[in-house]
Amino acid sequence: MNLQTFNLFLIVLSILLISSITVDARFHKYINKHINKYDNKHTTAPTKPKCSTSTPTPECCQSRGGPGWNGLALLGSYEPVNITNAVDCCIYCTKDSSCHSWMFSSEALCAVGTSDVTCSSSIITPSSDIESGIAHCSSVSQC
């Protein structure tokens, strides 16, 4: 092997060694990073969920006297809806943003306020055999 070939061999060998050291260092850095992530996930104590100490807000239409089912109604025209219980009648109205009042009679008839029933309509108290509620009117209902 002549001197020129030997020098070329040393240069190539040097490049190979430097590149393998760089790759090796990157590999170790990558492995250590991921091992530490894994270790941290499994060596720390589990945290307990924080519990709220506040009183939960009742859901709309959950029960008579609650939000959306307050025994009040708004004066105006009502149209029948094919619903056979007071809970579903209340839910139907609270899910429709244009519905502001509903009534359910003891004859299993649900009626919801038409477009002339608005939050500015007069508030009435229907007879005792009628379930009712007001929705989408912030001054009277949270629903």
Q: Where are the domains of the chain?
A: 1-51, 73-134
pLDDT of residue 95: 94
Sheet holding 101-105, edge to edge: 78-81, 109-113, 101-105, 130-134
Q: What is the mean pLDDT of the segment spanning 23-41? A: 50
pLDDT of residue 42: 47
For residue 76, pLDDT beyond 80: yes
For residue 113, pLDDT beyond 50: yes
Q: Radius of gyration (Cα) for the chain, nearest Å?
A: 36
Q: How confident is the model at residue 140 (pLDDT cuts 50, 70, 90)?
A: confident
Structure tokens at 65: 């006297």
Percent of the chain with pLDDT over 70: 61
pLDDT of residue 143: 86
Averaged pLDDT of the chain: 77
Which distant-in-sequence residues (6+ apart) come within 8 Å of 131 by Cβ?
A: 64, 69, 71, 86, 89, 90, 103, 104
Structure tokens at 97: 């943003």
Closest listed residue to residue 102, CA positions, set 48, 57, 140, 55: 140
For residue 46, pLDDT beyond 60: no
Structure tokens at 56: 């939960």
Highest-pLDDT range among 3-17, 31-45, 117-131: 117-131
pLDDT of residue 55: 56
Q: What is the mean pLDDT of the segment spanning 106-132? A: 94
**pTM > 0.75:** no
